[in-house]
Amino acid sequence: MAGSRRSFSREYREEAAKLVIETGRPIAQVAKELGVGEVSLGKWVKDYRAAQGGDESPLDVSERARLRELEREARDLRLENEFLKKSCRVLCQGSSVSDRFEFIDAQHAAADKDVDVSTSLPVTRMCRILDVSRSGFYEWRTRPMSGTAARRGELSRLVVGFFEASDGTYGYRRIHADLVAQGVECGPELVRQVMRELGLRPCQPRPWRFVLTAGDGQVHDVPDLVRRDFTAAEPGRKAVGDITYIPTDEGWLYLATVIDCHTKAVTGWAMDDNYKTPLIETAIHRAVRNGHLTDNAIFHSDRGSNYTSATFAATLASLHIRQSVGRTGICYDNAPAESFFATLKNELVHRTRYPTREHARRDIARYIELRYNSRRRHSALGYRTPREVHHAYHARKSAIPTVV
């Protein structure tokens, strides 16, 4: 009795045909391995080629070998081109052989972590491209670390630590100040070079600003007692203030501030869903209640309708504070307040999305009290913190002998 006729699925026929085409092996050999007839397999191969690319004649074994060789050469050229782009720093004039060895070692270490070894060059080829000896490279790797390299490694570790502690906001000058405060001897240019090598880039401000300052159309006889002199001999004698907005998913949150001109600390602040006069009154009351504004102190602001209102003027008079305002629309007349808002938005607000006003309020309050006032270094203070300046003032004051 004749055996039943075997049937093969379309997928099976295509895979069998591809086995012949892609490996370049004879049909008879593949047919024997699969246990199918040579005639049937030949027909499958012909049908597959017709479906894929017409009647183009297949490549023979030597042509396929040449194709693979050309593909390998193209891949090697691509890898060498990418390697040369990366190595431009160590090929420039003034770079040492050790710089090239360090670069090769870094590329080799990165290749060890990559599962696909075809995407990296071997050490021998990297040495040839950079015109250094392979034996010299391996001899360099076995040397003990020099004292200079060890110190640079420790400096890199400290720089990364201070950069992360600042939440990615510090540039090389503030990180240099942190290092000096820890007793680390180094120059600011060295810190900048290390940060550049490590790829540490602080957040940058956005070139967009929306102005809230709007007058009420009336003439107000309020003098400018500051005249852009934002210094003060002691805390509590001179302060500036302004209002800004914080975007949240619920709508705007408005922040009013009082900033001391001696310590640069935010001594009073208030937040609400509007920027009416009670908002700035709350901020000034908080500064007074915390003991950060003395009698006859100066409070300076812009000419916004809230700051020039009769209600706010009466509030300042009741607190024995002299009022001062700058010109309308001139940001330099209230530079410290503008500077604080730029810093707040660059370091916090523009990097955060707030679902509610309450989320924003808590985050900004934490930034002001726990970071800006206490830990953030200010260029205007010689890269000291407001807390350090406040303590230094009282230390000097207590050191002065009392005259009886």
User: What are 186-204's pLDDT values in tens digits?
Assistant: 888 989 988 888 888 887 7
Q: In percent, how much of the chain has pLDDT > 90? A: 34
- Cα(121)–Cα(209) distance, rounded to whole angstroms? 49
The better pLDDT of the pair 115, 388 is held by 388
Tokens read off for 30: 């593949």
Tokens read off for 81: 């081109």
Average predicted confidence (pLDDT) for the chain:
84
User: What are 233-262's pLDDT values in tens digits?
Assistant: 999 999 999 999 999 999 999 999 999 999
DSSP letter (8 states) at residue 56: P
Question: Residue 1 above 70 pLDDT?
Answer: no
* Alpha helical stretches, state H, 54-96: 61-86, 88-91
- Cα(333)–Cα(61) distance, rounded to whole angstroms? 82
Give the model's pLDDT for residue 217: 47
Give the model's pLDDT for residue 102: 82
Question: Residue 327 above 60 pLDDT?
Answer: yes
Give the model's pLDDT for residue 333: 82
